[in-house]
């Protein structure tokens, strides 16, 4: 029976696995993004996310705990200065695994693992697109629907007429520009 055997051994002895995960965690913290296999990334996520949680409280004890796992002074410094400041308000889920296909030599599933808050392209796209929160059934939530209906009811009819006149003027201007 497989009781209490959680975790992938990755075909390595315990000291080799601990050293590999420590090195990968230090690389992830220093470079914010690494390429590896999916199995290693999933194990690394279990290894590095508690370290990032510990880094939120910057004390001598938590620094020493992090150093005992990472064995790299620069990585510990980066973790407590840069990473902890970015993820201070996030309640977990600090890493993202993006599958990139299979490796040519042995067809192993490869992925890119990154720290979530350090991908500027993805973060800015998500913050720009603000859409209404919906329930799992697809309709909007009642509170947002009531809030959305209230401003429309209080808006004056004259303001709506002014908006329609402005849009007509804009259409005429764009038609004149296209003729030129």
Q: Is residue 132 part of a domain?
A: no
Q: Is residue 1 part of a domain?
A: no
What's the pLDDT tens digit per position in 119-136? 877 766 655 556 667 777
CA distance linking residue 130 with residue 126, whole number of Å = 8
Find tokens 């392209």 and name the residue.
Answer: 121
39: left (phi over 0), alpha (psi -120 to 50) or beta: alpha
Residue 98: which H helix or E strand, with range?
strand 95-102
Residues 33 and 84 in one domain: yes
Domain count, the chain: 2
Residue 111: which H helix or E strand, with range?
strand 109-115
Secondary structure (3-state) at 58: coil
Q: Rounded to a whole number, what is the distance in angstroms from the first to the last CA of the chain? A: 80
pLDDT of residue 127: 53
CATH at residue 78: 3.90.1030.10
Residues 155 and 95 in one domain: no
Q: What are phi and psi of 71, to 5 degrees?
A: 55, 35
Residues 72 and 113 in one domain: yes
- Which of the 8 DSSP states describes residue 74? H
pLDDT of residue 100: 95
> What is the token pair recorded at 75?
């990585």
What's the pLDDT tens digit per position in 142-169? 665 555 555 555 555 555 555 555 555 5
Given pLDDT bands bounded at 50, 70 and 90, which one contains residue 141? low
Residues 29 and 84 in one domain: yes
Residues 61 and 146 in one domain: no
Residues 103 and 160 in one domain: no
Largest Cα–Cα separation, the chain: 80
Residues 27 and 78 in one domain: yes
What's the pLDDT tens digit per position in 36-86? 999 999 999 999 999 999 999 999 999 999 999 999 999 999 999 999 999
Q: Is residue 108 part of a domain?
A: yes
> Does residue 32 or residue 125 have the better pLDDT?
32
Q: Is residue 128 part of a domain?
A: no
> What is the token pair recorded at 178?
């296209």
Domain span at residue 44? Answer: 14-120
Q: Is residue 114 part of a domain?
A: yes
Given a cut of 60, is residue 110 above it in pLDDT? yes
């Amino acid at each position: 029976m497989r009781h209490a055997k959680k975790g992938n051994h990755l075909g390595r002895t315990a000291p080799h696995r601990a050293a590999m995960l420590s090195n990968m965690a230090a690389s992830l913290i220093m470079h914010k993004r690494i390429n590896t296999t999916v199995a290693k990334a999933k194990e690394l996520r279990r290894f590095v996310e508690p370290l990032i949680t510990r880094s939120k409280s910057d004390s001598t004890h938590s620094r020493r705990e992090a150093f005992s796992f990472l064995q790299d002074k620069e990585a510990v410094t980066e973790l407590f200065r840069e990473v902890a400041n970015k993820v201070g308000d996030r309640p977990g889920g600090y890493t993202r695994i993006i599958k990139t296909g299979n490796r040519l030599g042995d067809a192993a599933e490869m992925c890119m693992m990154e720290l979530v808050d350090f991908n500027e392209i993805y973060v800015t796209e998500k913050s720009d697109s603000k859409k209404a929160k919906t329930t799992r059934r697809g309709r909007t939530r009642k509170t947002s629907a009531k809030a959305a209906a209230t401003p429309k009811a209080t808006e004056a009819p004259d303001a709506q007429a002014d908006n329609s006149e402005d849009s007509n003027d804009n259409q005429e201007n764009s038609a004149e520009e296209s003729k030129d």
